[in-house]
Amino acid sequence: MILGLFGPDDSAYIIAEIKVPRLNAEGTFYFEMDTGADGTALHLRDAIQLLSTKAMRRGGAEGWGRIRKRFRLLCNPSSIGGVGGEATYFSEPAQIIFTHTDGSKQGFLFDLDIAKPANRGGNRFKQQLELPSLLGMDILSQFRVVMDYSKKQIFLDHS
């Protein structure tokens, strides 16, 4: 069983590790469970973290320049529509890894959508930074999903 948690706004979150072998990048992220999303998406704040493993060591503006170079390595752009309109994402082969309550790990190979950043400093960029990453139906459909608001419990079960 994989436990989740409720955020301050009562949104349901699951913690998972992401590995993107082609970019030699990995990290652990909070994903908001979204049954209305077809795919799993890493939004800007988490995408920066994923891509900045080595780039941010020097910090400052130079650090952002290095991260932009890492974003340029992304391939397969596509437009994805959602509640807020259309946005551009890059599809990358990835692995998502969950940790069960007994300590065992379970992984799935899938295509991760990584958000393309707007111009830094603009309103759109700031809005992108506020979006949580989403765990979509491509992954959620692999599980029995239990969200019990009265008991404040969320879990995924893969039988």
Structural domain range at position 38: 2-157
81 has a pLDDT exceeding 60: yes
Q: Which CATH number characterizes residue 112's domain?
A: 2.40.70.10
Q: How far apart are CA 11 and CA 123, in angstroms?
A: 24
At 40 the pLDDT is 98
As for how many domains the chain has, the answer is 1
At 80 the pLDDT is 78
What SS3 class is residue 148?
strand
58 has a pLDDT exceeding 60: no
Q: How far apart are CA 24 and CA 16, in angstroms?
A: 17
At 84 the pLDDT is 63
100 has a pLDDT exceeding 90: yes
At 56 the pLDDT is 44
Which residue type is seen at 16?
A
Question: What SS3 string covers 24-89?
Answer: CEEEEEEEEECCCCCCCEECHHHHHHHHCCCHHHHCHHHHHHHHHHHHCCCCCEEEEEECCEEEEE
At 57 the pLDDT is 47
What mean pLDDT comes out for the span 118-122? 76
Average pLDDT in the chain: 88
142 or 53: which carries more pLDDT confidence?
142
At 94 the pLDDT is 98
